[in-house]
Amino acid sequence: GENVEQHPSTLSVQEGDSAVIKCTYSDSASNYFPWYKQELGKRPQLIIDIRSNVGEKKDQRIAVTLNKTAKHFSLHITETQPEDSAVYFCAAYNAGNMLTFGGGTRLMVKP
């Protein structure tokens, strides 16, 4: 089955700095890669996603890049703000109808 590794597990940045979270996946047939944000005590919510036919996607301060050859994808957050503090999860979807999540990254943005 699919295996998704996510790094780092914790990340602390100063407000205004950029943050990068990286994920690798094992199944070359995976074709959809979403990112979810989970604030403390809340439910996960989709923030951005990318499909395997696209190399990069941006939405305001967040962007995701995908390298299919190397089987890794990354989340980039620019100009971080305190409200970006949360746990971020990457995930990979394969043709077996299963969405596999990474272990999560706790992002702390210090004012």
Partner 1 sequence: NAGVTQTPKFQVLKTGQSMTLQCAQDMNHEYMSWYRQDPGMGLRLIHYSVGAGITDQGEVPNGYNVSRSTTEDFPLRLLSAAPSQTSVYFCASGPRTSGTGELFFGEGSRLTVL
The yes or no reply on residue 97 touching partner 1 (CB under 8 A) is yes
* Alpha carbon separation from 43 to 25, 32, 63, 110 (Å, rounded): 24, 21, 22, 23
Q: How far is the CB of 89 from partner 1 (least distance, A)?
A: 6
Q: Of how many residues is the chain composed?
A: 111
Structure-block tokens of residue 14: 């100063």
The yes or no reply on residue 100 touching partner 1 (CB under 8 A) is yes
Binding site for partner 1 (CB under 8 A): 1, 4, 6, 9, 31-32, 34, 36, 42-46, 49, 51, 89, 91, 93, 97-104
